[in-house]
Amino acid sequence: MPISSRALAVSALALLLAACGGKKSETTPAPAAEEPVVNVYNWSDYIDTTVLEDFTKETGIKVNYDVFDSNELLQTKLLSGKSGYDVVVPSGSFLEKQIQAGVFQKLDKSKLPNLANIDPAIQTATAKHDPGNEHAVTYFWGTSGVGYNIDKVKAAMPNAPVDSFAMFYDPKVIANFKKCGVTILDAPDEVVATVLLYLGREPMSEKAEDLAAVEKVLLSIRPFVREIKSSGYLDDLANGEICVALGWSGDVGQGKSRAEEAGKGVKLQYNIPKEGAIQFFDMLAVPADAPHVGNAHKFIDFMLRKDVAVKNTNFVTFASPNAAARDAINPEITGDPSIYPTPEVAAKLSPNLARSQEYTRELTRVWTRFKTGK
Amino acid sequence: MAARGLRLGRLLVIGVPMGWLLLFFLAPFLIDFKISLSEVRLAIPPYAPLLEWADGKLVAMHLQLTNYRYLFTDSLYVSAYGYSLQVAAVSTLLCLLLGYPMALGIARAEPARRNLLLMLVILPFWTSFLLRVYAWMGLLRNNGLINNFLLWAGVIDTPIQMMQTDFAVYLGIVYSYLPFMILPLYTNLEKHDGTLLEAAADLGAKPLAAFLRVTLPLSVPGILAGALLVFIPVVGEYVIPTLLGRPDQLMIGRVLSDEFFANRDWPVASAVAMMMLVLLVVPIVAFQRLQNNAAHAR
């Protein structure tokens, strides 16, 4: 049908012109002619998608939304240059290195009035990754800890220390769960830091003796670990394939709901270990070569708005840094100490800082030996 | 005039694939080789330039052979290469044992049914490769279809651990790559002259002897083509061993991705890739020589 397709093309062109015209008349002093598009690259299952529709409705800016599931993947795209993304969401320790590599531009804070909503304590914490909070704003934060199937753990070990890293790092304890299945996150720096916490050592230590001690622990528990992975463990927990996972906090809320969907009566729980935990911050940032810088700022500011933060938090069940939104969030989330820890527990959280290139290499060797059990 | 036209035509015919190879094989190869000789650093892109220029003059050249040396200092790389070759060799053999009778069966079927049978071989490609591997995960896992059925039927009392085993890796690979063995074998077998077998029978050969002395030798080019089509991609296979395999036995594809993503070390990752290419070039050259020898023999 050649006629109708040509008609379609013409009307599309007309629409495009109209859209451009409309935009110009709305924002009179348009700085540079930026097309009404913003390209966003975020973690999977990490937004209430109706928020994107609301953004387009209010600003006329179309959102191209794309997702990833590992920091390493995002980093590789960013370090290749010209990723084409306007807003990306790396975690703090990765962001820290990426800032040094010149990946991000400084945010124009005059365009982010809703920045005032962010909890100053969170800003202080993330300044360790991003000095002066110049390049990024926290989107959500969380911890890594013990996720487990209540009934299966009780059956395998009645007095299991479910509030401790001993669940994973004490061979006598983890041996009990070999049969029902254990997974560990495939996040080398983060997991090594949790072993150091368990050993009562400085979690960000780069000392060779500390790494050697970690390796000893990891190799001793290797026979009892079924898989080392960062995605998919949620489903495994939810359908009873495994019974204990070293996992990320907010994922459990989603795991619980998936278990309910499956309807097999699987009950899941997440605990922040008593030894402390590693705290991660996922941060909104704008690449230095972003094609739509103005729209990127509009998008970030929208995410920081109180009502939007409430909507997102209720959906993703991670902790929001948005202080203004806190009272309006579903109390089941804000009241859950595994998501919003009590001040005593919060004091024991340490951020996951970036390590040196030399240490990363040593760490990866240890990690590979752990994975291969050699 | 006609001769010139012919020459131009030849040039075009050769030029197109040559251009293709230059653009999509040689250029990436050289870029990869260049990166493998450079030094890692924190920047975009995350490696140091090989050549430093100032005022249009070459100031310094930084060649790092350390990345290659590094591959031999840790047993990890050698053992991963070894395991990859082992998996590729065993899978190729299994594909051949399974694929040969199937190809022969299709080639000897009535012409009207051949297309249907070929269709059945190709049919799995209509679904995404990744989806099919995920389907195997659903079948093989402890809580999966097979174990649940066996438990229900009372054949076993505890689930058989099939995921994260060599068995699962071989099953996944053989399943996924079998068509690549069958199709070239079929093209070869289908062209065989049936009268040769009749002649063999007339001269007193039993069917088995006729197969061993006529069909099998004639099908060697098909076997070699199919074996290469399976062997080469399996050496670098990443998805199947990652999803179905043992975490304690790494194939080179996984090692490469760890260097690239986890270590942020593009130079070493490139060196691993170059070494893999060297490993693959050897069988290709061997194949070429075999084919040449076969051509001369005729």
What domains does chain A contain, in order, with CATH numbers? Answer: 34-141+280-340 (3.40.190.10), 142-278+350-372 (3.40.190.10)
Q: Alpha-carbon distance A337 to A333, whole Å? A: 8
Alpha carbon of B292 to those of B219, B231, B282: distances in Å? 15, 20, 15
A85 has a chain B CB within 8 A of its CB: no
Q: Pick from A69, A77, A79 the residue to mutate for testing the B interface (most B CBs within 10 Å).
A: A79
Q: CB–CB of A79 and B258 under 8 A? A: no
Region of B22 on the Ramachandran plot (φ > 0 left; ψ -120 to 50 alpha; else beta):
alpha
pLDDT in the model for residue B219: 94
Q: What is the pLDDT of residues B163-179, one digit of tens each?
A: 888 999 999 999 999 99
With CA atoms as reference, report the closest residue to B91 among B189, B204, B283, B233: B233
Answer yes or no: do B124 and B257 share one domain: yes
Under 8 Å between Cβ of A117 and A323 = yes
Contacts of B58 (CB under 8 A, 6+ apart): B51, B52
Alpha carbon of B106 to those of B101, B103, B174, B186: distances in Å? 9, 5, 19, 7
pLDDT in the model for residue A140: 96
B164 has a chain A CB within 8 A of its CB: yes
Residue B222: inside a domain: yes
Q: How many domains does chain B have?
A: 2
pLDDT in the model for residue A96: 94
- What residue type is B173 in one-letter code? I
pLDDT at A333 over 80: yes
Q: Alpha-carbon distance B235 to B253, whole Å? A: 8
List A65's β-bridge partners, or say none.
Answer: A40
Answer yes or no: do B51 and B189 share one domain: no
With CA atoms as reference, report the closest residue to B124 among B171, B173, B179: B179
Nearest C-alpha in B relative to A222 = B248
Under 8 Å between Cβ of B275 and B33 = no
Q: How many CB pairs under 8 A join A and B?
A: 69
Tokens representing residue A19 in the block: 């859209």
Confidence label for B81 from pLDDT (cuts 50, 70 and 90): very high
Least reliable range by pLDDT among A95-104, A239-248, B110-119, B255-264: B255-264
Q: What is the pLDDT of residues B2-38, one digit of tens each?
A: 667 778 888 888 899 899 989 998 999 999 999 999 8
pLDDT in the model for residue A362: 85
Q: Alpha-carbon distance B226 to B185, whole Å? A: 6
Answer yes or no: do B163 and B60 share one domain: no
- By percentage, how much of chain A surpasses pLDDT 90? 65
User: Which residue in this structure is represented by tokens 């490609």?
Assistant: B125
In the DSSP assignment, the letter for residue A105 is P
Q: Alpha-carbon distance B271 to B277, whole Å? A: 10
Alpha carbon of A333 to those of A28, A47, A303, B90: distances in Å? 42, 16, 19, 52
pLDDT at A21 over 50: no
Among B residues 113-142, those touching chain A with beta carbons less than 8 Å apart: 141-142
- Strands A182-184 vs A244-248: parallel, antiparallel or unpaired: parallel
Print the domain residue range for B90: 75-297
Q: Which residue has the higher pLDDT, A114 or B61?
A: A114
With CA atoms as reference, report the closest residue to A293 among A127, A111, A132: A111
Hey, what's the torsion of the CAs at B8, B10, B13, B19, to 10 degrees? -70
Tokens representing residue A264 in the block: 């097999």
Residue B162: inside a domain: yes
Q: Alpha-carbon distance A317 to A340, whole Å? A: 10
Chain A residues lying within 8 Å of B46, measured CB to CB: 79, 101
List A244's β-bridge partners, or say none.
Answer: A148, A182
Q: What count of other Cβ atoms lies within 10 Å of the Cβ of residue A325?
A: 22
Mean pLDDT of A84-108: 95
Does the CA dihedral A19-A25-A26-A31 come out positive or negative?
Answer: positive
Tell me which H or E stretch contains B124: none
Under 8 Å between Cβ of B95 and B170 = no
Answer yes or no: do B54 and B122 share one domain: no
For residue A223, cis peptide bond before it (omega within 30 degrees of 0) = no
Q: What is the pLDDT of residues B143-168, one digit of tens each?
A: 889 999 999 999 888 888 888 889 99
Contacts of A285 (CB under 8 A, 6+ apart): A87, A88, A89, A90, A95, A98, A104, A107, A135, A136, A137
Confidence label for B186 from pLDDT (cuts 50, 70 and 90): very high
Instruction: Round the average pLDDT of chain A to a whole number and report it.
Output: 88
Minimal CA separation from B49 to chain A, in Å: 14
- By percentage, how much of chain B surpasses pLDDT 70? 95
pLDDT at B102 over 90: yes
Angle, nearest 10°, between helix axes A306-316 and A293-304? 70
Answer yes or no: do B101 and B50 share one domain: no
Q: CB–CB of A241 and B258 under 8 A? A: no
Q: Pick from A76, A97, A355 the residue to mutate for testing the B interface (most B CBs within 10 Å).
A: A76
pLDDT in the model for residue A39: 97
Answer yes or no: do B225 and B183 share one domain: yes
User: Which residue in this structure is represented by tokens 């250029």?
Assistant: B27
Q: What is the pLDDT of residues A243-274, one digit of tens each?
A: 999 999 877 777 887 788 777 788 999 999 99
Least reliable range by pLDDT among B84-88, B229-233, B291-295: B291-295
B264 has a chain A CB within 8 A of its CB: yes
- Facing residue for B143 by CB, picked from A76, A79, A240: A240
pLDDT in the model for residue A13: 44
Instruction: Round the average pLDDT of chain B to a whole number and report it.
Output: 88
Chain A residues lying within 8 Å of B260, measured CB to CB: 76
ipTM above 0.85?
Answer: no
Among A residues 230-259, those touching chain B with beta carbons less than 8 Å apart: 239-241
pLDDT at A219 over 70: yes
Q: CB–CB of B261 and A72 under 8 A? A: yes
Answer yes or no: do B49 and B176 share one domain: no
Q: What is the pLDDT of residues A284-326, one digit of tens each?
A: 999 999 999 999 999 999 999 999 999 999 988 899 999 999 9
Tokens representing residue B183 in the block: 């199709």
Mean pLDDT of B46-60: 76
Chain A residues lying within 8 Å of B143, measured CB to CB: 239-241
- Strands A277-285 vs A136-149: parallel, antiparallel or unpaired: antiparallel
Mean pLDDT of A164-191: 94
Mean pLDDT of A187-214: 94
pLDDT at A110 over 60: yes
Answer yes or no: do B88 and B223 share one domain: yes
Residue B212: inside a domain: yes
Minimal CA separation from B261 to chain A, in Å: 5
HSE (side-chain half, CA atoms, 13 Å) at A202? 8
Nearest C-alpha in A relative to B266 = A76
Minimal CA separation from B259 to chain A, in Å: 9
Minimal CA separation from B41 to chain A, in Å: 9
Q: Which residue has the higher pLDDT, B287 or A161?
A: A161
Q: Alpha-carbon distance A234 to A247, whole Å? A: 8
A365 has a chain B CB within 8 A of its CB: yes
Answer yes or no: do B167 and B44 share one domain: no
B94 has a chain A CB within 8 A of its CB: no
This prediction has a pTM of 0.77
Tell me which H or E stretch contains A303: helix A293-304
B145 has a chain A CB within 8 A of its CB: no
pLDDT in the model for residue A234: 84
B15 has a chain A CB within 8 A of its CB: no
Residue B16: inside a domain: no
Chain B residues lying within 8 Å of A100, measured CB to CB: 42
Q: Which residue has the higher pLDDT, B209 or B49?
A: B209
pLDDT in the model for residue B281: 84
Nearest C-alpha in B relative to A100 = B42
- Facing residue for B143 by CB, picked from A226, A228, A241: A241
Answer yes or no: do B41 and B126 share one domain: no
**Strand, coil or helix: what is A339?**
coil
pLDDT in the model for residue B282: 75
Q: CB–CB of A78 and B44 under 8 A? A: yes
- Facing residue for A372 by CB, picked from B45, B142, B248: B248
* Residues B199-232: b if buried by 16+ CB within 10 A, e if exposed: ebeeeebeeeebeeebbeeebebbbbbbbbbbbb
Residue B93: inside a domain: yes
Confidence label for A25 from pLDDT (cuts 50, 70 and 90): very low
Chain B residues lying within 8 Å of A354, measured CB to CB: none
Residue B4: inside a domain: no
Q: Pick from B38, B41, B42 the residue to mutate for testing the A interface (most A CBs within 10 Å).
A: B42
Mean pLDDT of A147-152: 94
Q: What is the pLDDT of residues A7-19, one digit of tens each?
A: 444 444 444 444 4
Residue B179: inside a domain: yes
pLDDT at A120 over 90: yes
pLDDT in the model for residue B2: 62
Under 8 Å between Cβ of B35 and B68 = no
Q: What count of other Cβ atoms lies within 10 Å of the Cβ of residue A270?
A: 26
Q: CB–CB of A101 and B42 under 8 A? A: yes
Under 8 Å between Cβ of B246 and A225 = no
- Facing residue for B262 by CB, picked from A81, A188, A241: A188
3-state SS of A264-294? CCCCEEEECCCCCEEEEEEEEECECCCCCHH
Minimal CA separation from B147 to chain A, in Å: 12
Contacts of B148 (CB under 8 A, 6+ apart): none
Answer yes or no: do B60 and B151 share one domain: no
Answer yes or no: do B100 and B237 share one domain: yes
pLDDT at A6 over 60: no
Residue B3: inside a domain: no
Confidence label for B297 from pLDDT (cuts 50, 70 and 90): low
